[in-house]
């Protein structure tokens, strides 16, 4: 096999010795993952679309709404930090059943306990559950569909993005028809369906913590024992995802305001936010095709996606009137591709599901703590300067740095530095 072919195989699959997943098991796992994914972004973006309605109904201040927007990232980080140990102790399947129950409870609580305390607690619960799910999906994919990591990860990411777009577009019109409580809470039906799917999967496949222990060779034991906190690749992945998340959440929060300051109308600026979000399906489908069908290396995809972010930021900052749709679209493509790529790498660059869980937890803890600082930092710089030039320049510099990090984080090496 040629070197390029070997690299492509290392990028798209786990080693060839992995047994093929039975078709029935494959689809059961996929259905459970996709149903869970359907409510892993939509409860967060739905609030942004309906915030003025909730604010008036509950008598909340702008500061209250700001905290409701910031809390999810902190809970994502907390969930990522503690979930690997809990998943290992109680089993991935058992843990995710509990996670879906908490997610469902949080969604329902926000719609039925109609006070600030109820909305706050509901947001904390659903965000913490999403933080667990974000982290544990990588080891689940590695354990149950090891020969289709790129495909299943892309389907997972695509479902999150599409559902987030659908819900953000429907929640306000629904609130006018059935009230904001049903508009926000009705999506809990998808989580209930996900709960049923995970219970069936658990009954069919058992729990990962009850499976017979595999005797490891000395070399395999050393690979498994590699500490993610001491791995250079793990830190590179964490920084790569962190800078991407900072860009994504900052742009998601302020893109309409930025475009209005550049001369667009409120309607036009609002359409830019939709374009940014709806680039995700195109990015994920295109990236999956490039990796699986064309054999493009992950390193090439990572660098290309980060360069798209740089191009978009340069366009918005210095050529805003030329092609606003293009600048917005390329940033949306870059952000969606990088997120999906990181989830793939958590599985592809580790030796076992347990190690994938540890890497996913460590990287996402760092990433969401970095992302938390993005909207606050950009808002602070805007208040100081009175315009978006300073915040955009700062984010542009970080994104240029991320091109180098992308090259490092996506190299075809394993968590311990050995060739993939």
Instruction: Provide the token pair at 361.
Output: 């937890």
Q: Is residue 286 part of a domain?
A: yes
Q: Are residues 101 and 242 in the same domain?
A: no
The rounded Cα 387 to chain-centroid distance in angstroms is: 30
Q: Is residue 418 part of a domain?
A: yes
What pLDDT is recorded for position 215? 53
Q: Are residues 189 and 98 in the same domain?
A: yes
Least confident stretch, 34-43, 54-63, 380-389: 54-63
- Higher-pLDDT residue of 108, 18: 108
Q: Are residues 190 and 260 in the same domain?
A: no
Q: Are residues 367 and 345 in the same domain?
A: yes
Q: Are residues 197 and 232 in the same domain?
A: no
Angle between helices 92-112 and 42-58 (to 10 degrees): 20
What pLDDT is recorded for position 17? 45
Q: Is residue 168 part of a domain?
A: yes
Residue 43 has pLDDT above 60, yes or no: yes
What pLDDT is recorded for position 393? 94
Q: Is residue 14 part of a domain?
A: no
Q: Is residue 31 part of a domain?
A: yes
- Last residue within a domain, chosen from 209, 232, 267: 209
Residue 136 has pLDDT above 80, yes or no: yes
Q: Are residues 204 and 230 in the same domain?
A: no
Residue 63 has pLDDT above 80, yes or no: no
Q: Where are the alpha helices (DSSP H) in 145-213?
A: 149-178, 180-185, 188-205
- Last residue within a domain, chosen from 169, 185, 209: 209
**Domain count along the chain:** 2
Q: Are residues 175 and 232 in the same domain?
A: no
Residue 213 has pLDDT above 60, yes or no: no
Whole-angstrom Cα distance, residue 179 to residue 171? 10
Q: Are residues 411 and 314 in the same domain?
A: yes
Q: Is residue 200 part of a domain?
A: yes
What pLDDT is recorded for position 208? 65
> pLDDT tens digits for 66-102?
777 778 888 999 999 999 999 988 989 999 999 999 9
Whole-angstrom Cα distance, residue 81 to residue 98? 17
The rounded Cα 94 to chain-centroid distance in angstroms is: 22
Q: Are residues 271 and 413 in the same domain?
A: yes
Residue 9 has pLDDT above 90, yes or no: no
Q: Are residues 197 and 269 in the same domain?
A: no
What pLDDT is recorded for position 223? 62
Q: Is residue 218 part of a domain?
A: no
Mean pLDDT estimate for the chain? 85
Reduced DSSP (H G I as helix, E B as strand, rest coil) percent helix, strand, coil of the chain, to 5: 85, 0, 15
CATH number, domain containing residue 380: 1.20.1250.20
The whole domain housing 316 covers 223-420
Residue 382's pLDDT band (boundaries 50, 70, 90)? confident
The DSSP string of 15-26 is -TTSPPPPHHHH
Closest CA to 205 of 144, 156, 153: 144
> pLDDT tens digits for 225-260?
668 888 999 999 999 999 999 998 888 778 888 888
Q: Are residues 163 and 256 in the same domain?
A: no
Mean pLDDT, to the nearest integer, of 43-65?
A: 77
Closest CA to 248 of 311, 336, 162, 310: 336
Q: Are residues 143 and 244 in the same domain?
A: no
Q: Is residue 4 part of a domain?
A: no
- Last residue within a domain, chosen from 174, 209, 244: 209
Residue 112 has pLDDT above 80, yes or no: yes
């Amino acid at each position: 096999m040629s070197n390029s072919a070997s690299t492509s195989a290392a990028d798209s699959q786990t080693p060839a010795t992995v047994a093929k997943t039975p078709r029935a098991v494959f689809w059961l796992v996929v259905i459970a993952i996709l149903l869970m994914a359907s409510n892993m972004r939509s409860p967060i973006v739905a609030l942004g679309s309906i915030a003025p309605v909730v604010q008036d109904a509950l008598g909340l201040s702008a500061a209250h709404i700001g905290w409701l927007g910031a809390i999810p990232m902190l809970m994502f980080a907390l969930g990522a930090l503690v979930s690997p140990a809990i998943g290992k102790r109680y089993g991935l399947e058992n843990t995710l059943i509990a996670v879906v129950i908490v997610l469902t409870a949080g969604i329902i609580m926000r719609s039925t306990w109609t006070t600030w305390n109820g909305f706050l607690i509901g947001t904390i619960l659903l965000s913490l559950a999403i933080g667990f799910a974000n982290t544990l999906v990588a080891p689940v994919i590695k354990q149950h569909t090891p020969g289709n990591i790129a495909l299943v990860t892309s389907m997972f990411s695509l479902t999150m993005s599409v559902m987030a777009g659908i819900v953000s577009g429907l929640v306000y019109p629904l609130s006018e028809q059935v009230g904001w409580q049903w508009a926000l809470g009705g999506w809990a039906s998808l989580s209930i369906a996900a709960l049923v799917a995970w219970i069936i999967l658990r009954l069919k496949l058992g729990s990962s913590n009850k499976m017979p222990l595999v005797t490891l060779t000395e070399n395999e034991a050393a690979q498994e024992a590699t500490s993610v906190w001491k791995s250079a690749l793990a830190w590179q992945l964490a920084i790569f995802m962190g800078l991407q998340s900072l860009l994504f959440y900052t742009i998601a929060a302020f893109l309409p305001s930025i475009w209005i300051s550049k001369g667009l109308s409120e309607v036009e600026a609002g359409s830019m936010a939709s374009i940014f979000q709806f680039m995700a399906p195109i990015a994920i489908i295109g990236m999956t095709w490039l990796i699986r069908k064309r054999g493009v290396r992950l390193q090439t995809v990572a660098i290309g996606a980060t360069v798209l972010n740089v191009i978009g930021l340069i366009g918005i900052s210095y050529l805003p009137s030329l092609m606003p749709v293009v600048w917005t679209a390329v940033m949306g493509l870059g952000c969606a591709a990088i997120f999906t790529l990181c989830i793939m790498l958590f599985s592809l660059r580790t030796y076992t599901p347990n190690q994938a869980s540890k890497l996913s937890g460590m990287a996402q803890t760092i990433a969401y703590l970095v992302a938390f600082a993005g909207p606050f930092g950009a808002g602070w710089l805007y208040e100081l300067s009175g315009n978006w030039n300073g915040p955009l320049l700062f984010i542009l510099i970080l994104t240029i740095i991320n091109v180098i990090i992308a090259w490092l984080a996506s190299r075809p090496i394993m968590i311990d530095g050995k060739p993939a």
